[in-house]
Amino acid sequence: MENRPPLTPATLYLVATPLGNLEDITFRAIRTLKECDLIAAEDTRRTGQLLAHFGIQKPLMSYFRFNEAKRSEEILERLARAEKIALVSDAGSPGISDPGLRVVQAAIRGGFRVEVVPGPCALVAALTGSGLDTDEFHFTGFLPHKSGQRRRMLENLLGTPGTVVLYESPYRIEKLLTELTDLVPARPVVLARELTKKFEEWLRGTPPQLLEQLKKRPAKGEFVVLIGPNEPPTTPESTPESSL
């Protein structure tokens, strides 16, 4: 590889890390992790394993939902000292249903540079492999746990055009499919499980079909759930006239 310019001081680097398959990490991500001054990680133990695999030794700072405010202040102080800081989540792109947004906003307000080191993202991986419409999609992360809020959000999402994409845990996937069976029983749904890992699995069908499948065996690993758009039926009036 040709020589690359060094990292820029006083910069927050958002580094995407593998979803499961370590071969998915980019050369640029490895170089950034090697050359930064500090790595802010959602789980320092998990990130420590990733660093050990690639022979990287760097100071780690824990950064997760319950200490975001305090850690954001510390990160800004270190950026003010012209340090180069990499922020990573457990897997995928920081800030996508993971910690990261608050420190990015704080860094921007503070006038510091933010640079993205793109790479793996469960949302993009699942959408492109789903076979569903990718021209327009709506992503919402995890649904609320409370039934009322959850139902309202789901109904609103299902009323939007394009493919709906969300994340769901194995503990609530049957609940979600039951809700979809009630609301949109005929829509195509794709479940992408354990993406890039040894037991990666794709399940396709309608909500009641998928619910029946999952009742027959335990569901492990987090899911990316993709719900196809509500396609209007083709009618003679909507069919383009032949040019012949």
Pick the range with the lowest mean pLDDT from 63-67, 105-109, 149-153, 165-169.
Answer: 63-67
pLDDT band at 239 (very low <50, low <70, confident <90, very high): very low
Looking at residue 197, its pLDDT comes to 93
Element (H, E) at 79: helix 68-80
- pLDDT value for 234: 44
Give the per-residue pLDDT at 124: 96
One-letter amino acid at 81 equals R
CA-nearest of 33, 95, 92 to 64 is: 95
Class of domain 122-227: alpha beta
**pLDDT for the residue numbered 240:** 44
As a whole number, the mean pLDDT across the chain is 91
> Which residue would you say has higher pLDDT here, 47 or 217?
47
Rg for the chain (alpha carbons), in Å? 21
pLDDT one-digit tens code per residue, 128-182:
999 999 999 999 999 999 989 999 999 999 999 999 999 999 999 999 999 999 9
Q: What percent of the chain has pLDDT over 90?
A: 82
Every domain of the chain with CATH number 3.30.950.10 lies at 122-227
Cross-strand pairs, 39: 60, 86
Give the pLDDT confidence score for residue 236 in this predicted structure.
45
CATH of domain 11-117: 3.40.1010.10
What ranges make up the beta strands (E) of the chain? 11-15, 38-41, 60-62, 84-88, 113-117, 137-142, 163-168, 189-193, 201-205, 223-227
pLDDT of residue 97: 87
User: Cβ distance 63 to 94 under 8 Å?
Assistant: no
pLDDT for the residue 66: 76
Q: What is the mean pLDDT of residues 12-31?
A: 97
Instruction: Report the run of H or E that residue 122 belongs to, with start and end.
Output: helix 122-130
Residue of 164, 15, 11, 23 whose CA lies nearest to 91: 15
Contact 50, 17 (CB under 8 A): yes
Q: Quick one: pLDDT at residue 241?
A: 42
- Contacts of residue 140, Cβ cutoff 8 Å, sequence gap at least 6: 153, 157, 164, 165, 166
Q: What is the pLDDT of residues 181-218, one digit of tens each?
A: 999 999 999 999 999 999 999 999 999 999 999 988 87
For residue 1, what pLDDT is reported? 52
Which residue spans of the chain are classified as CATH 3.40.1010.10? 11-117
Determine which of 21-30, 109-118, 215-224 has the lowest per-residue pLDDT on average. Answer: 215-224
Conformational region of residue 69, where left means phi above 0, alpha means psi within -120 to 50, and beta covers everything else: alpha
The answer, yes or no, to whether residue 231 has pLDDT greater than 80, is no
